[in-house]
Amino acid sequence: MPVFGRACLIIALALTVYGIGAAVYGARAGNRGYTESARRAMYATAGLVTVAFAVLEVAFLRSDFSFVTVATHSSTTTPFFYKAAAAWSSQEGSLLLWAFLLCMWSSVVLTITRGRLRDVTPYATAVLLGFAAFFIGLLVFSTSPFDTVAGGAPAEGTGLNPLLRHPSMMTHPIALYSGYTLAAVPFAFAIGALIARRVDAEWIAATRRFALASWLALGIGLLLGARWSYVELGWGGYWAWDPVENAALLPWLTATALIHSVQIQEKRGMLKVWNVSLTLATGTLAIVGTFLVRSGVLDSIHAFVEQGNTIAWAFTGLIAICAAGSIGLVVSRRAMLASEHRIESLLSREAFFLGNNLVFIAMTFVVFWGTFFPLISEALTGTKHALGPPWFGKYIVPLSILLAVLSGIGPLLSWRRATAVNARRNFLVPVGIALAALAVSLGLGAGRRPAAELMFVACGFLLGCVGQEFWRGTRARRAMSGERLPVALISMVRRNRRRYGGYLVHAGIALLFAGLAASSAFQHIVTPTLTVGQSASVGGYNIHYDRATANISTRAGSLEKINLGGDLTVRKDGKLVTRLHTERGYYPTDDSSLGMISRYFEGEQTSEVGLKAGTRQDVWTVITPDTDPLRPVISKGDKVFAAARNLPPSMGAALLGTAIRGIVDRYQHHPPPAQFRFIVSPLVTWIWLGAIVILFGGLTALWPPPGGATRRVRAGYLSRVARESTAPTAPTAPTAS
């Protein structure tokens, strides 16, 4: 089926080119037939790319090694679950996934906006088809997933990179790519609105949910990536300011700013230039993110591509077009992007939302500069200099503290203008909670890290603000409806999902920031070398190396990996806390320059972390076994098998199995000293809990309001406003209950 898959992509590419032309011609000539045809071109492209993606997936699931990409990224020993995910571990498979997701989201938005935004949608369709053309063009001309192996399919494939054999692999790339591709939707409609000169809030209303979905998907992707890093990479951290991590963080930061500032345009007709610029920046940064992941121009622990590949130039061109086109359009339409109103008071919600936006943009600039500094320094000095976590921390930590404070203040103020008396009354409880957080954290010894201490206080304040909002809203709802408290809470959230979903996100951010501050400021790390029976102390815990373990994992009758590890006992004040097991997996390589035995110890290696996670502290352990004492035996085995290469295959395989089993047993019964990495980090679990709360809040905000309720509210206001239009008397405020 590779010919059919390739043909689908070629037809899809032709369709995108036709669709771009039809959409632009239809918009210019006012011919609806062509714009409708362009919309259908997007649907048909989506259908063809879906078929192409299905062809590739089937090839992976069937281990069809006649496909080059299957032969180089999968094997018969790759678990079924990971065979499905292996498709996007390759360059060509991940670009196909990008194109597939883009076409899907584009089709969804074009269906939703059918019959609306008639002068904007054709240009947006052309932009979306342009993105699709770029990615499908790469798949057709540069890196095809349907190339076949010359001279027939090999019996076995290389296998999936062992580091990618983690459940997150199934969801992490899909979440990140969904975030990137969803960001293309508001980008396309912003371009369409600017070209069509219709820069009111209509295009924002039509695509706001896509911006929110993009933000949410990027957030999920970032979280899953952090979790993968924590439990799989063997260094004990969840965030390293790695270029690929930053690549997803950049559009997430601008999208977060956009989600806040877009409310000001919807309500006040202000910040039009700002919003359209943020939308365009988010879309462009999504392409930058894909570029960083797929091009390999920056060294990354997350990049699994060959360095210096040719698609880098194509991406650079696309980014340049997106950036230059965006700036040119915004500048040329600046007159019609003027604000309808001005900020009336600095003590208003919009003023603090704007402040929060400025913090996000400052963070974006810091992350952008730090990420691209190696390229900048190389261009200027000829040497790549990377900026490490301390450099990022110097700027991001104070900005995050400020952000937490602003996130708390903004929602407690009313739109337009708040009075000092009301503000004072509203801040009493949150400030009290912040002071309580200060007292508790000082009592626990957090005072020796002032930045962390400040963050705890800011997070306490933010949680106090959110809690107070929920309490007051629920109380008001109960007073109006007479419902019981839990029912009033649920119906209040149901009727104001955007507002209270946002508050939940703020609560999640507070938990996450507190976890980040505690785990980075009060982490204890030791890297002892222990023999069986020895112990090491870390963060008040005693960790004892009980025994060495060694075993062989097999799959589909073949050796999958050799595991060398250790059992540990963790005690605190003499009391048993937990028992942990950590091991290192050695995957065989097909490198024929190595001896038959060496191949089983010189391939890819992965770490299995021994982790005791708790709400207060995590105890994290990993082992790096010393295989040097096994070298003489391995070398001897290599020589024996080199001399016996004419043995019948079945006999050779049996002898090889026996030899490896012997080496593994030798390690277990006479274990050499092993190096360990023990980490005790407080509140790491809060990071994951915060992320779950953010996810829940994001979904709450994203979920459409109940139709009946919306209609009732709309009808109520319609009649009320209609009454006002006939009765000249001033309305009276409803009675507070």
Partner 1 sequence: MEAILIILALAVVVWVVSAPLRNPESTDLAPAGDRASLEVAKEAKYREIRDAEIDWRTGKLSDEDYREQDRRLRAEAVEILRELDRLAS
**Contact region for partner 1 (CB under 8 A) — 30-38, 292-300, 325-333, 547-555?**
30-38
Bridge partners, residue 579, by sequence: 569
Footprint of partner 1 on 147-166 (CB under 8 A): none
- Using CB under 8 A, which of 9, 13, 27, 212 touches partner 1? 27
Min separation Cβ 14 and partner 1, Å: 9
- Using CB under 8 A, which of 147, 156, 266, 608 touches partner 1? 266
Asked if 23 and 42 count as a contact pair (C-beta separation under 8 A), the reply is no
Tokens of 604: 């890819």
Give the 3-state secondary structure of residue 548.
strand
Between 425 and 448, whose beta carbon lies closer to partner 1?
Answer: 425
Footprint of partner 1 on 711-730 (CB under 8 A): 713-714, 717-718, 720-722, 724-725, 730
Binding mask 86-125 vs partner 1 (x if CB under 8 A, - otherwise)? Answer: ------------------------------xxxxx-----
Between 220 and 413, whose beta carbon lies closer to partner 1?
Answer: 413
- Using CB under 8 A, which of 15, 103, 293, 609 touches partner 1? 15
Tokens of 706: 């109940």
Asked if 619 and 659 count as a contact pair (C-beta separation under 8 A), the reply is no
Footprint of partner 1 on 354-383 (CB under 8 A): none
Min separation Cβ 124 and partner 1, Å: 13
Between 26 and 225, whose beta carbon lies closer to partner 1?
Answer: 26
Q: Which helix (H) or strand (E) holds 405?
A: helix 389-412
Tokens of 468: 């107070």
- Using CB under 8 A, which of 198, 571, 612, 666 touches partner 1? 198
Residue 555 φ/ψ region, left for φ over 0, alpha for ψ in the -120 to 50 degree band, beta for the rest? beta
Q: Is 533 in the site for partner 1 (CB under 8 A)?
A: no
Distance CA 79, CA 461 (A): 47
Min separation Cβ 130 and partner 1, Å: 17
Exposed, middle or buried, 649 (CB in 10 Å: 0-12/13-18/19+)? exposed
Between 45 and 78, whose beta carbon lies closer to partner 1?
Answer: 45
Torsion angle in degrees (nearest 10) through CA of 626, 629, 633, 638? 50
Min separation Cβ 206 and partner 1, Å: 9
Binding mask 42-61 vs partner 1 (x if CB under 8 A, - otherwise)? Answer: -xx--xx--x----------
Which residue, 550, 508, 587, 525, is CA-closest to 674?
A: 550
Q: Is 30 in the site for partner 1 (CB under 8 A)?
A: yes
- Using CB under 8 A, which of 7, 337, 343, 525 touches partner 1? 7
Min separation Cβ 373 and partner 1, Å: 42
Which residue, 524, 540, 510, is CA-closest to 686?
A: 510
Distance CA 107, CA 113 (A): 10
Footprint of partner 1 on 399-428 (CB under 8 A): 412-419, 421-422, 425-426
- Using CB under 8 A, which of 229, 279, 371, 496 touches partner 1? 496
Main-chain dihedrals φ then ψ at residue 556, nearest 5 degrees: 50, 40
Distance CA 37, CA 46 (A): 14
Between 399 and 423, whose beta carbon lies closer to partner 1?
Answer: 423
Task: Give the interface size with partner 1 as a residue count (CB under 8 A).
Answer: 74
Binding mask 449-478 vs partner 1 (x if CB under 8 A, - otherwise)? Answer: --------------------x--xx--x--
Main-chain dihedrals φ then ψ at residue 621, nearest 5 degrees: -135, 145
Min separation Cβ 44 and partner 1, Å: 5
Q: Is 34 in the site for partner 1 (CB under 8 A)?
A: yes
Distance CA 92, CA 95 (A): 5
DSSP state of 484: -
- Using CB under 8 A, which of 13, 23, 24, 26 touches partner 1? 26
In this structure, the number of other CB atoms found within 10 A of the CB of residue 529 comes to: 13
**Contact region for partner 1 (CB under 8 A) — 6-14, 398-406, 624-632, 687-695?**
6-14
Give the 3-state secondary structure of residue 413.
coil
The distance in angstroms from the start CA to the end CA of the chain is 70
Distance CA 366, CA 175 (A): 24
- Using CB under 8 A, which of 8, 110, 514, 609 touches partner 1? 8
